[in-house]
Amino acid sequence: MKFFIDTANIDEIKEAKQLGILDGVTTNPSLMAKVGIKGEEAIREHYRKICELVDGPVSAEVISTDYDSMMAEAKALASIDRRIVVKIPMIPDGVKALSALRDEGIPTNCTLVFSAGQALLAAKAGATYVSPFIGRIDDITWDGIALIEEIVEIYEIQGFETEVLAASIRSARHIVEAAKAGADIVTCPLASIKGLFKHPLTDIGLEKFLRDFRQSQG
Ligand code: E4P
């Protein structure tokens, strides 16, 4: 399973990269707003900086909702760097754009996916990645991980090549469950990645090893 970081924050991307486990980055308009990037050229420049840091796919989301504008925006985003993957929302014009972008060889990430039917449409339209939002599904007491399992099963049965990118991760547990469910990728906040490290027995064990070593050396 590949690990992407779900942020537009350069320091967080650097920190995840230093761990040596980073395969890519996803952003969305809310994450870009959070780091205070304003204006078209500033946004392009920020994506350039992210792409320089990461040797892997970097998802950049369109903000248009009609086909023609989405296509123009997608092409402009894709021209920033070869690593850019264009994020397209799961709406009818978005599905149309996914298949047109596939024909033009531009990689895509279909976002805001909340059902197996939507994931089926995304794969049929040739999306490179599909992003089911597991945290937001759990937030309304449905089962986000069950959706990942269902999509993985459908894609396997049907032989779709679209990769399942578990998004809207809220915890380290979500990452483990997404891996068990067969997700190809998880995109996570840095805090959830760091949560994977934590175990009190590791801390207690390390402290004892070091104490025993110090004592044995007098
Ligand atoms: C990433 O591709 C998604 O936009 C993101 O994971 C959504 O996460 P959220 O539900 O925490 O906003």
Question: Would you state the pLDDT for residue 89?
Answer: 98
Question: Would you state the pLDDT for residue 199?
Answer: 97
What are the residues whose beta carbons fall under 8 Å from the beta carbon of 166, sequence distance 6 or more?
A: 131, 132, 134, 148, 174, 178, 181, 183, 185, 186, 187
Q: Ligand 1, residues 133, 170, 185: which to mutate, most atoms within 8 A of Cβ? A: 133
- The closest residue, in CA terms, to atom 9 on ligand 1 is 168
Pocket of ligand 1 from Cβ distances under 6 Å: 6, 26, 28, 111, 131, 133, 135-136, 167-168, 187
| Three-state SS at 82 | coil
Q: What phi, psi does 163 have (nearest 5°)? A: -90, 140
Q: What phi, psi does 114 have (nearest 5°)? A: -130, 5
Give the number of the atom of ligand 1 that is nearest the alpha carbon of residue 136: 10
Q: Nearest Cα to 32, choosing from 72, 14, 59, 53?
A: 59
| Three-state SS at 45 | helix
pTM of the model: 0.96
What are the residues whose beta carbons fall under 8 Å from the beta carbon of 71, sequence distance 6 or more?
A: 97, 100, 101
Question: Would you state the pLDDT for residue 218?
Answer: 85
Mean pLDDT per 10-residue section of the chain, whose length is 218 residues: 98 97 97 94 97 97 98 98 98 98 98 98 98 98 98 98 98 98 98 97 98 96
